[in-house]
Structure formats: C-alpha cells, structure tokens
Structure 1
C-alpha cells in the first residue's frame, strides 16, 4: 500500500481545486495524483467542513473507540 500524502499537501490540493481555475484533470496531473483521488479528497473535505452530510474523521474515530469499549464491557 502506498504511503499516504501528508494532510498539509491534501489541504493545499483541495484549496487549489476549489478555486476552479483549471480542470480537475489538470490539477490532479500537476500535483501527481489521480483524478479519482482528487475527487475523494474534495468529498472528504466537504464532509469535514459540514457542506456534505457524513461522519467526520473525529466522529469516526470516536465511534470506533466506543465500539471497542462496548466489546470489552460485554466480555
């Protein structure tokens, strides 16, 4: 599995893509990522910013932790 890109890099790419000064394909090519990767990052950023419904990273982490605690308590 390839090493994930740093969060700062992702934020920069999303910021450039949101300006819509160039086609998504060109932005992805300029940053050396796939167009599908760029689209996924934009969707995740929309969820994190509250623009799109869904679970944020923080909420997902909390849910995982609660499920883990629940399994331990049930034993």
Structure 2
C-alpha cells in the first residue's frame, strides 16, 4: 500500500483558479482540467470562497446599526466643531 501525500497549492494559485470559475465563466471541470487539478478540489476551493464572501457581508441589523452609528458620529463631530468655535469666541471675549 502506498501512502498518498496531499500537494499544497499557494493561495495565489487557488485565488486564480477560483477566479477562472467565478469571474471568467469557465466550468469547474474545464478550469480544473486546464490547471491539472481534480474538479473536486476546485469545487472545494470555490465553495470555501463563496462561504468567506457570505461571511463578510453585513446582516440587516448590522447594516442598520452602521447607518445609525454614522449618523451619530456626524452629529457629534458637528457638535464638537460648534463647541470649539464657541470656546474660541468666549476666550477671545475674556481678553
């Protein structure tokens, strides 16, 4: 019985292989054949890429919270600018 070793592929190679399928429209079987890898391996890479892509998206609640936080941040920055100007005005009046 021979011991099988798994070949390690660099991340750049994996990303380019997945890009062939997702961005350029090749089928997984065609892309795998042209890269001399198994189609099962490429299917796994594509699935992993899609899972990472889904995980990076914000949920509706997170998006709503982000919008609210941005509004609050804008309001607070404006209030800070007003207070800076007011303190400079009153400092000038005190002299």
TM-score bracket for this pair, using the shorter chain length: 0.5 to 0.7
- Measured on the aligned residues, the alpha-carbon RMSD in Å equals 1.6
CA distance in 1, matches of 2:22, 2:10: 19
1:35 match: 39
Tell me which protein shows more helix as a share of its residues. 2
TM-score, structure 2 normalization: 0.48
2:51 match: 47
1:9 match: 13
| Superposition deviation, residue 19 in structure 1 | 2.7
Moved beyond 2 Å, runs of 4+: 19-23
Larger radius of gyration, structure 1 or 2?
2
TM-score, structure 1 normalization: 0.59
